[in-house]
Chains A and B, each alone.
Chain A
């Protein structure tokens, strides 16, 4: 056995049975923390979008077990716990609860309130229980882009929000004064406190039951086991240096200026290093994220490639990974960079890492995905009682990249989020003055390939009462790429459809700020498809026929990108198709268009509804507006 594998052996003699029992116990504990948080939370971003992360950490702040939550926050809590340890320099006592939302510590935006409880056993600090959750509002401007952190809301430095079990009323008062919907915020506050206390309680129970030494050495052994799994996977990868480049559309401030994402991956024996030095410098708009997020990009990609299902998520899994990330890049931004849309770029960084290593490990990667949450921010007042509301729309899911053994997933949430749920349309309509006219798959949005990219979705939302609408998405022009001759999928997009207008108002760079929608107007979100894998001219004809039958691929697209020739009765003619495919190959067809210069939208409605009829009942007006946009 070589030196490195030996390092993976348990350091002390630990009982393998207790180790496995502790491992299952850690997973169960973080799951219980998660359940408690979700079920008690007040805001949809926690209970449906699962924009939170809970975890247990050792006394140095290393990750012992993470319950997701938010996959891209894989690094965020450990770094935050470490920052809190450094801040208090040992001044921690039982009953303390530490809080911060410092964007440059969590690496994300100010919405991420992060609570931490130090765990004590017989007077000794043995670990931390931690919970980050996204609050729907932390103050700051409601509309437009931001260009620094100060316009994004309340900044809470590292504080003791509870000191020896006693809540700090002054700090709570500062929070309440600075956020909209303070009651809701305090509901989430309580939910998070309950979650971290659950983690503390179960961890202490485990220490009592199996003994401090046994549990702590079991945790070491679990990390070592995880390390071994990851190392073995890296060792099996061919050594070499792999590079790739991709682009973001723009930062919302300098319109049309593409933002380069360049990554370099080196595999050498049992170690992988990811170098993000060539990723763009931090930008003027609010698409920056902190170094924690840059590290997360590398860890997320590493976990996907080495141990996607190994649980719990812990520090050991990443010991074989080196990260090179100088400060000041768009994923290691420094104060006062604007961070509100922190989550957008890292997803493309992860995809770009897969793109880099694809030639070395074609069976372990996927083509590019839609890489954006495709979110709508809506606020307005309800007609019934004139009450103010904030609605986070979208999260409609998009296409994922195809793989060596199959098509990409249709309508699935982007990399930033994991077990995130969209909201039922029936609930949205019951709660808000909005009407979902349509929520469908986008045919032909998946990149063509031997394996096709997954399809994006389209959601058309009619305002029943006046609303303010904003949506900032990326990867509109810089489309999700294919691999190994697979074609790019369609990009994301946003549009507004005015009642009675024959054409949609488009936002070519995907940034729609401060749109006022009158009753009858609608906003339209369209998520991109995934990239294809392998040449579409090699796609199995039965599967292509299924795609056409089910309408995932139109006949026109089947002809253009897949070389299909149809018989008079609508079947694919295999002989003629083979011939056409051979010709296309010779002519270098089909041609990929990785950067969309032209936006592809459905044709305008066939009927002309330029005049909104007068004197309609509310129901008639809604139906009329809906019919105007219904072209099928």
Chain B
């Protein structure tokens, strides 16, 4: 290829996960998608990305855009390898980070361990200042104390400072001033103030968010700086953007400041990929289901929009650290291919213990001895010993069989196949409860949704989960094993802002509200301005967290712009009533509502190039057929099952279950009553038969 004409034709993305680095390269002029999967190189992550780009058959100079999803931020928290930080907080609230919400989720466990702050108590400091809930200054900021305190902390070796003052969502001036003072005196420190990340009430959650940002900040800043420099060295002249937990992109200048916003970039990109797929094929409601080696995750697309949440807890509900920033609402359950099955007091249990990737399932032959979900798939014939990862890795069928027989089958008096099938059914119901949860928690019914399933293990189990939840339509996207990298290619630039503003809705001044939204939209637009040449347009979205007066939990109501333009108080109230009805099963038109927070999202829409289409090949999938294999199905037993090579399927192909559709990084199981059709983009549409 001619380098000159190739320049700037590619859109590149890299999703660096714990085990694999996935690269997707999209050739804009032809719509061709190229993929590369390689092991993550933890010593130097750039090396893995380069290998992946190479495997995909692409080069950096060809790219005009490099989109990156990384686990560097979340791993820094989970592995506790972040920077020494100081926390400056309102006098009297030094311990709020440690006190937290005082809950004991493991109510009968005398050995319960609550969250451990990322900053030790000797580096958490009270600063004389106080603002009240209306934003009025009661005690002015003691600027001298700020300076002296940080100077002392610097002597103890801190690299970052987190600042949280009470009610900074109403009046951020003290935080701003304190940050200015610290940055001026200590330009090498990473300094972050809570109002930059969250302008929502709840001081503990905001403290935890700000502390986490300070904790990961120096490392993420260095990582992105090095990556940027390295990209320059490879001849890349395009734009480098990072994926946020909202599924939106931000530029590296922002990413190096609000590091915590990239925490869940990989999983978020998968949901964005699902949304793009839904848009393409005209689906309004879908559950995005992602299953890998240790966990299964689910997000929701409802009425064409990805459902978001205001925060999450990193490291598990009982002992984790809360983050209060908008992100895609993704639920997770500890069930994956590596989940271990065991007998406990005569009962069958599956997970959450996982064999992970090392030693991994018994069939990997790397020393694993406990039967896992992957071992069951092998024993049941759903995975082939000689076709795993395109045959790159041989699987030990005999070892898997013996483990299942010895550890589960015999103790429960079940045959090996029945035992393997039972383990799978238990794993599937656990995942089904999680998937159901993402819908019922919002008052929705999973049965009204289609499911998009991806991740290495997603296509193996999705049909069983769909059947369990009475989901009729299942879609296995093109390249399900690289789906997060693929999703990134279609992300938009995005800035989410939230501002807590407690107001009885009946008395709200539309002018005042408009001014607050405008301020957020201005800030959002400014963030996006640096990448303006990448976008084809900007859209502002508005919402509000509302509740009936007296309630605690608020619901987020997405509000169309015209309701603001018309100052339509009744219209907004009706919208809130409707959302409340959906979510909680009742509403009261006569009851007064109040506003808790205003939400704004500014979206810089990226060009969305079309993917190339598959050739039309008619109904017969004969060309992709690669022989029969015995596969076990629940309630049916062993069935001689045709297998197909997914790479050879063409648009319009139809396959009736039972069947297996195999590709490099995944296998799709088509159950006896199910039917598959291949669409023009290479997605598999599976109609789940009613038993």
Contacts and interface: CB of A to CB of B under 8 A. Distances in A.
Partners in one complex: yes
Interface stretch (B136-144, B232-240, B353-361, B520-528): B136-144
A403 interface: yes
A438 B92 contact: yes
B123 to A, nearest CB: 9
A75 to B, nearest CB: 13
Given A32-B440, A411-B95, A619-B137, A425 B110 contact: no
Contacts of B436: 28
A427 B202 contact: yes
A164 B430 CA distance: 35
Interface stretch (A337-345, A429-437, A596-604): A429-437
Given A21-B429, A39-B583, A440-B92, A426 B100 contact: no
B348 interface: yes
A421 B102 contact: yes
B311 to A, nearest CB: 13
A44 interface: yes
A297 to B, nearest CB: 13
A496 to B, nearest CB: 18
A44 B247 CA distance: 33
A594 to B, nearest CB: 20
B103 A420 contact: yes
Interface string B90-121: 01111110111111111111111110000011
B412 A16 contact: yes
Given A417-B104, A418-B105, A622-B138, A16 B414 contact: yes
Interface residues of B, number: 72
Contacts of A421: 101-103
A413 B550 contact: no
A549 to B, nearest CB: 5
A439 B95 contact: yes
Interface string B13-53: 00000000000000000000000000000000000000000
Given A20-B348, A21-B426, A437 B92 contact: yes
A304 B95 contact: no
A96 B106 CA distance: 34
Contacts of A436: 92
A187 B103 contact: no
Nearest to A623: B138
A422 interface: yes
Interface in A359-404: 364-366, 395-397, 400-401, 403
A303 B103 contact: no
Interface string B424-441: 011001100100110011
B584 A422 contact: no
B132 A619 contact: yes
Contacts of B552: 41, 44, 47-48
Given A17-B422, A304-B109, A309-B106, A425 B93 contact: yes
A101 to B, nearest CB: 21
A441 B124 CA distance: 13
Nearest to B113: A409
Contacts of A3: none
B502 interface: yes
Interface stretch (A225-233, A272-280, A508-516): A225-233
Contacts of A549: 120, 122
A430 B502 contact: yes
Nearest to A21: B429
A339 B637 CA distance: 61
B136 A187 contact: no
Interface in A289-319: 300, 303-304, 308-309
A410 B126 CA distance: 19
A516 B169 CA distance: 32
A586 B417 CA distance: 68
A409 B110 CA distance: 10
B585 interface: yes
B426 A365 contact: no
Contacts of A225: 344-347
B203 interface: yes
Given A24-B433, A308-B110, A409-B114, A441 B98 contact: yes
Most-contacted residue by chain A among B126, B429, B441 (CB, 10 A) = B429
Most-contacted residue by chain A among B107, B345, B441, B583 (CB, 10 A) = B107
A171 interface: no
A309 B107 CA distance: 9
B199 to A, nearest CB: 12
B113 A20 contact: no
Interface in A76-118: none
Nearest to A27: B433
Contact-size category for A? 35 or more
A23 interface: yes
A68 interface: yes
A157 interface: no
B672 to A, nearest CB: 19
B483 interface: no
A630 interface: yes
A9 interface: yes
A25 B139 contact: no
Interface string A6-41: 001110000011011101110010001001101111
B121 A552 contact: yes
Most-contacted residue by chain A among B103, B112, B548 (CB, 10 A) = B103
Given A232-B345, A435-B132, A552-B121, A24 B426 contact: yes
Contacts of B109: 304, 308-309
Contacts of A552: 121
A413 B106 CA distance: 11
Interface string A49-81: 010000000000000000010010000000000
B551 interface: yes
Contacts of A184: 550
A413 B92 contact: no
Interface in B557-588: 583-586
A42 interface: yes
Contacts of B422: 16-17, 20
B426 A17 contact: yes
A287 to B, nearest CB: 22
A134 to B, nearest CB: 14
Contacts of A308: 106, 108-111
B92 A23 contact: no
A503 interface: no
Contacts of B414: 16
A123 interface: no
A42 B550 contact: yes
A440 B113 CA distance: 19
A411 B346 contact: no
A412 B348 CA distance: 34
B102 A412 contact: yes
Contacts of B350: 20
A397 B99 contact: yes
Contact of A441 (B95, B122, B166, B202): B95
28 contacts: A28-B433, A32-B440, A35-B440, A39-B583, A40-B585, A48-B552, A71-B108, A194-B584, A228-B345, A229-B344, A308-B111, A354-B110, A366-B111, A403-B111, A405-B111, A406-B111, A409-B104, A411-B100, A413-B104, A419-B105, A421-B102, A424-B205, A430-B133, A436-B92, A437-B92, A440-B93, A441-B95, A623-B138
Interface of A: 8-10, 16-17, 19-21, 23-25, 28, 32, 35-36, 38-44, 47-48, 50, 68, 71, 183-184, 187, 190, 194, 221-222, 224-226, 228-229, 232, 300, 303-304, 308-309, 354, 364-366, 395-397, 400-401, 403, 405-406, 409-413, 417-422, 424-427, 429-431, 435-441, 457, 460, 549-552, 619, 622-623, 626-627, 630, 632
Given A401-B110, A422-B101, A627-B139, 7 more contacts: A16-B422, A32-B440, A50-B103, A225-B347, A429-B166, A435-B132, A441-B98
Interface of B: 91-96, 98-114, 120-122, 126, 130, 132-133, 136-139, 166-167, 169, 201-205, 344-350, 412, 414, 421-422, 425-426, 429-430, 433, 436-437, 440-441, 502, 548, 550-553, 583-586
